[in-house]
């Protein structure tokens, strides 16, 4: 069976990805900042590794643990909303978490993905990162970080196009998680079911796409 690696899998969408892929019989490698506290994740049967995605030493340790194991689908899911209003330190943390960390993860684990059958990399982005779609303002840190994530991963998709990799930036919908809040439009099961279909249908020719959980192409 294929192998998926998911970051930030102790709650929210990451946990739902782990649940669904595990239920389908995939080998699930999941990361959490505190694996011992990640009881729901442990219950999925996933192989859990400790990872604070902003910590290069943690990434070193993950790479050592993985060695040259193939990863069919890499899901850079861990992310944060950041401050609502201007805050220099909070903005910098959001940029590190939402842009630099997932991009570093992709670069570091590229050879593991290349060694697999499916060769896919997915970044959890957001329509809030769409500049064309921004008609309501606010959320400086989150919007700019997801826009920059799209720019960085679009570049990776072009740089790695000849390797047969398929990269996609995906919008999960507005989802009832800690981040999305209870008033969000859809539940995590619906979102992840849709995203897994989108991922299953992703081909190298579509690399660099920005897609929602129903497979619709989104404006940058
Ligand atoms: N929910 C939505 O409506 C929505 C919409 C668009 C995009 N997204 C994106 O989808 C992804 C998942 O969102 P969610 O709703 O599931 O969020 P969530 O419920 O807030 O969960 C976020 C997850 O990311 C982890 N995380 C955050 N910063 C981390 C770091 N520096 N190192 C390691 N793990 C870290 C958290 O770990 P801890 O538990 O340790 O904090 C948690 O597991 C995010 O990238 C988000 O931006 C969500």
Q: What is the CATH number of the domain that holds 92?
A: 3.40.50.720
Domain that holds residue 63: 3-212
- Residue 178 covered by a domain: yes
Classified as helix, coil or strand, 83 is coil
Nearest to 3 by CA among 68, 74, 97: 74
**Predicted model pTM:** 0.99
* Per-residue pLDDT, 10: 98
Q: Could you read off the pLDDT tens digit of each residue along the chain, which spans 220 residues?
A: 999 999 999 999 999 999 999 999 999 999 999 999 999 999 999 999 999 999 999 999 999 999 999 999 999 999 999 999 999 999 999 999 999 999 999 999 999 999 999 999 999 999 999 999 999 999 999 999 999 999 999 999 999 999 999 999 999 999 999 999 999 999 999 999 999 999 999 999 999 999 999 999 999 9
* Per-residue pLDDT, 218: 98
- Residue-wise over 49-65: b if at least 16 C-beta within 10 A, else e? bbbbbeeeebbeebeee
* Per-residue pLDDT, 163: 96
Distance (Å) from CA 205 to ligand 1 centroid: 28
* Per-residue pLDDT, 192: 99
Distance (Å) from CA 177 to ligand 1 centroid: 9
Distance (Å) from CA 93 to ligand 1 centroid: 13
Q: Which two tokens stand for residue 72?
A: 């069919």
> Which ligand 1 atom sits closest to the C-alpha of 78?
24
Distance (Å, rounded) from C-alpha 176 to C-alpha 178?
A: 7
Nearest CA to ligand 1 atom 5: 174
* Per-residue pLDDT, 34: 98
- Residue 218 covered by a domain: no
- Residue 220 covered by a domain: no
Ligand 1 binding site (Cβ under 6 Å of any ligand atom): 8, 10-14, 33, 51-54, 77-80, 97, 124, 126, 171-172, 174-175, 177-180, 184
- Residue 191 covered by a domain: yes
Q: How far is CA 53 from CA 5, 62, 76, in A?
A: 13, 10, 10
Structural domains in the chain (count): 1
Distance (Å) from CA 79 to ligand 1 centroid: 4
Overall size of the chain counted in residues: 220
CB atoms < 10 A from the CB of 102, how many?
28
Distance (Å) from CA 162 to ligand 1 centroid: 31
Nearest CA to ligand 1 atom 40: 33
Residue of 15, 80, 148, 173 best suited for mutating to test ligand 1, as the one with most atoms within 8 Å of CB:
80
Distance (Å) from CA 10 to ligand 1 centroid: 9
């Amino acid at each position: 069976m294929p192998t998926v690696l998911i970051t930030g899998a102790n709650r929210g969408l990451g946990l739902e990805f782990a649940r669904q892929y595990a239920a389908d019989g995939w080998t699930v490698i999941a990361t959490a900042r505190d694996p011992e506290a990640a009881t729901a994740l442990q219950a999925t049967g996933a192989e859990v590794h400790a990872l604070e995605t902003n910590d290069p030493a943690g990434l070193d340790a993950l790479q050592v643990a993985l060695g040259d194991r193939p990863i069919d689908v890499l899901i850079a899911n861990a992310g944060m909303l950041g401050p609502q209003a201007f805050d220099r330190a909070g903005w910098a943390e959001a940029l590190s978490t939402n842009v630099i960390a997932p991009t570093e993860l992709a670069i570091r684990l590229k050879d593991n993905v290349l060694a697999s059958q499916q060769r896919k990399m997915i970044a959890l982005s957001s329509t809030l990162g769409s500049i064309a779609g921004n008609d309501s303002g606010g959320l400086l840190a989150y919007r700019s970080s997801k826009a920059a994530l799209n720019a960085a991963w679009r570049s990776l998709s072009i740089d790695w196009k000849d390797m047969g990799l398929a990269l996609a930036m995906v919008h999960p919908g507005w989802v009832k998680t800690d981040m999305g809040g209870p008033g969000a439009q859809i539940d995590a099961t619906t979102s992840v079911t849709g995203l897994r279909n989108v991922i299953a249908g992703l081909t190298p020719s579509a690399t660099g796409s920005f897609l929602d959980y129903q497979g619709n192409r989104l404006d940058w």
